[in-house]
Amino acid sequence: MLHLLLTEIAIHVASYLPLQSLHQASLVSREWHSLIADNEQTLYRNAAILHRFVLHADLEAESSSQTSDKKRDWKQLCRRRLEIEKGWRGKAPSTAKELTATGKFVLRIKVDENEGFVITTHHTEGLYVTDINTDRVLWAETTHIPGYVHCEYDRGYIVFNRHDNSIEVWRLAHGFHYSDIPDNSRPNGSMITASHEAARRYPSSTGRGHFRPWALIQMPERTSNFRLSYPTLIIANENNAYVWDVPTSRHVETISNIQGKDQHGNLGHLNYVDVNDKYAFFCGSLQLRIFARDGGGLVYKLTKKMLPRTQWDVLPESNSVACLSSLFQPQQLHEALHRSKSSASNFKAAHVSSSGKDLVVLTALGNFIWIPGFERLINREATLSEIAVVLNFSPFPDNSQDISIYLALGELNEKAAIATRKGLYIINLDPEISKFTAEAPSRPGASVCRVMKYDNSLYLSLITCLQISDTGIFFNWHPFSEQNRLSQAHGLNWFAPNPSMVHCIHV
């Protein structure tokens, strides 16, 4: 019996129990209840580590301050995390909200839930930083930053392109010291002037949400794609990629000939890039290629012919048990064999997980490819058909057009989100879900929910950005105006969408 063991051993054993089992164990007897109650902080702290509710880096940072660790209510943290997990699966309430202060004609969205703000760029000029909770602009730059710019954000650094073949890097004003700016690639006068003007127009005693210029990166040739994965920024064109260290504004590596032809063809049009400390990922229309960092060269390539024929069709769940107050509707996954098409789908986007272990890919025809432990392919420890899971979001395809719009991958959770012309979907990528739900994971180790009430095919096709955070998804949406509704009520068959705003759905 658990209570007969030495306390240290009993705590160690209980640390491997799923959360629901830990609660049930406390109901077995008075002795077990006392053991768990007397060691509640330790047991739930261990549970938070087991279920990856906290990062080891965060715990190490807190280890120097035992006071902060003791103040945290670990049981409440685990309870909240479990509710969030249920919410992602349509088993707990979720809420929708529109952020109007982000400005009209939103193009790109970045979210920082720790800081509590969302960053947007627009088809017209400007960059806005908006408080998620109050829908209030904290800071904005509307004269220096042009329209149609892509932006990246991570760990307090924001990166966006200019139209003169250079990249600007700005940093959160909190804790910013001009003396810390690296000597190389220093910001120019126009950036500094724009920063002063923005600070004047948005005065703040704390500087929350404010940014200041950090670097101006001049590229040797025209580039088209870039991605920031702190501390690394990768900037690429169709044939070359340049890797920079953002905190030091230092160019650390060039990856050449990413387009090189081989017996399987070339990369195709470059659609997306990603990077981590070991690899650089290039998603072309014809191939996905992985290059080793530090001059390692091409180590793996994925072609459309290599995709497994066995796929999981995503279908509406007929016997759904979703929470009535949830906007997430569980979907059914049906295993099916699909014949190879002569006009195979192009690759649309690819992301590597923050852990560096998993890779997700989206094709234009709605195939979502999840490759857990993708390094096994590089090391020839497994084949693609053995480890890859293909979710088919278009089991009855319309061959007249592609359906995929956008792919997003959660930074800290095992979640992905995709937008297609048929709907918005949340994909839970965790084969070890049983560890903290006490539920047996169904094949193929992933579950899918559809975001209800967002099913207008026109508005779905107009989405230009979709982001997934720890507790919600953010996307730009074109809602009907009252005038449009009245027009429809009077039998008119035309409408014009409003300028897109940011919508967020929280669990």
The pair of structure tokens assigned to 151 is: 């932006």
**How far apart, in whole angstroms, are the C-alpha atoms of residue 72 and residue 331?**
36
**Quick one: pLDDT at residue 340?**
59
**Quick one: pLDDT at residue 119?**
98
Given the candidates 2.130.10.10, 2.60.40.10, 3.50.50.60, 3.20.20.70, the CATH classification of the domain at 95-506 is 2.130.10.10
| DSSP H or E segment with residue 459 | helix 457-461
Percent of the chain that is helix, strand, coil (3-state, to 5): 20, 35, 45
Domain 2-72 belongs to what topology?
Monooxygenase (1.20.1280)
CA 136: distance to chain centroid? 24
The pair of structure tokens assigned to 216 is: 């101006």
Q: Is 345 helix (H, G, I), strand (E, B) or coil?
A: coil
pLDDT greater than 70 at residue 436: no
Q: Which residues are CB-neighbours of 419 under 8 A, at least 6 positions away?
A: 404, 405, 406, 425, 460, 463, 466, 475
What global pTM score does this model have?
A: 0.89
Q: At what angle do helices 30-38 and 40-50 cross, to 10 degrees?
A: 80
**How far apart, in whole angstroms, are the C-alpha atoms of residue 448 and residue 435?**
19
Average pLDDT over residues 170-189: 93
Q: Minimal CA–CA distance to 387: which of 307, 442, 450?
A: 307
Mean of the per-residue pLDDT values of the chain: 87
pLDDT tens-digit series, residues 46-105 = 888 877 777 655 665 566 555 455 678 998 998 888 889 889 989 899 999 999 999 889
Instruction: Identify which of 85-89, 257-261, 314-318 has the greatest average pLDDT.
Output: 257-261
**Quick one: pLDDT at residue 243?**
98
pLDDT tens-digit series, residues 461-483 = 999 999 999 999 999 998 654 33
Q: Which residues are CB-neighbours of 402 under 8 A, at least 6 positions away?
A: 345, 346, 348, 364, 365
Q: Is 506 helix (H, G, I), strand (E, B) or coil?
A: strand
**Quick one: pLDDT at residue 483?**
38
**Quick one: pLDDT at residue 492?**
34
pLDDT greater than 90 at residue 213: yes
**Quick one: pLDDT at residue 228?**
98
**Which of these ranges, 285-289, 312-316, 342-346, has the smallest mean pLDDT?**
342-346
pLDDT greater than 50 at residue 355: yes
Q: Which residues are CB-neighbours of 28 under 8 A, at least 6 positions away?
A: none
**Quick one: pLDDT at residue 38?**
86
- Band (pLDDT 50/70/90 cuts) for residue 24 is confident
Average pLDDT over residues 315-319: 79
- Band (pLDDT 50/70/90 cuts) for residue 374 is very high
**Quick one: pLDDT at residue 481?**
45
Residues of the chain with CATH 1.20.1280: 2-72
Residues of the chain with CATH 2.130.10.10: 95-506
CA 339: distance to chain centroid? 31
